[in-house]
Amino acid sequence: MAKKLLLPFLLALILIGCQKQEDIIITPSNNPFEVMPERFQQNILLEHFSDEAQSVTVENSLFVDQLKSKYPSRLIVANFHQNDFLATSYSSFLGTSLGGLLSISKGSINRNIGKQTLAQEDGQVLLSPQNWEGAILQALQKPDAPLSISLETGTEANDVGFVKVYIAHKTSISPTAKLVVYLLEDNIQPIFQNGNQIGFSHQNVFKNLLTEYEGDSIDLTGSSEKGLIHKSTFTNIDLNNYNVANLKVIAFVYENHPDFKQKQILNSQEANFYGVHYWDID
């Protein structure tokens, strides 16, 4: 089954022709992507915002680097620019859908609401940097996730890209679940960065997405003690618009809900393009 992704104009210019196919995999299999993982490690997705007009963008970037070093196998980061040359319409959409940006220096941790926060941010989804690590630690204290994600990326014979997303689960997942796939780039040189420092470059920058803005519907409502694996394949990705050497893929599943405070991310995964990420086993 294939369908054209319908993205608003700015993003559609880049991903025209990208197609998606869905399959249910019956295990066991000799393909390592199709082997049920023993456990579903909970990963953390930090989605934060930046603007070259704000010097705090540099400070936050350095702080994010420290967090990624501290939680190397668990923390995944996506950086959304606004009001500068890296801004996208999706960045504005995301900020609004998570409750609105009162300040550019905000971010969400698995889209969970803040608890025991500084600066009276309890109940908010978009938190100040001073509350990010506390929210990360809270998320890591939860039991294993209800699902796990594995990624396979590369190019086809005609040099267009593909991304395969494998989702393993045993219990029934809410029918409101959505799959979102981001394309990000590292090492983008700033142009008018206020407070710029020697050697600074933008990291984890959101460039595009392969799914609908709110994510693609995905049926994970089945259950099995032996486990089920769902595969979504995105093909015909035009790579001419990216520095592929610095390109990354992030995929995550979240529960879509009319209330922005109930859009929690169930799990996420990241891989460099031309790379793979098998199931987390540590």
State pLDDT tens for residues 66-101: 999 999 989 999 999 999 999 999 999 999 999 999
For residues 214 and 152, what is the distance between their CA atoms, to the nearest angstrom?
A: 22
Can you give the pTM of this predicted structure? Answer: 0.90
For residues 69 and 46, what is the distance between their CA atoms, to the nearest angstrom?
A: 14
Whether 10 shows a pLDDT value over 50: the answer reads no
> What pLDDT, on a 0 to 100 scale, did the predictor assign at position 25?
59
Tokens representing 196 are 């710029």
pLDDT grade for 170, boundaries at 50, 70 and 90: very high
pLDDT grade for 27, boundaries at 50, 70 and 90: low
By the 8 A CB rule, do 193 and 200 touch? yes
Task: Give burial (CB, 10 Å; 0-12/13-18/19+) of 120.
Answer: exposed
> What pLDDT, on a 0 to 100 scale, did the predictor assign at position 282?
54
pLDDT grade for 32, boundaries at 50, 70 and 90: confident
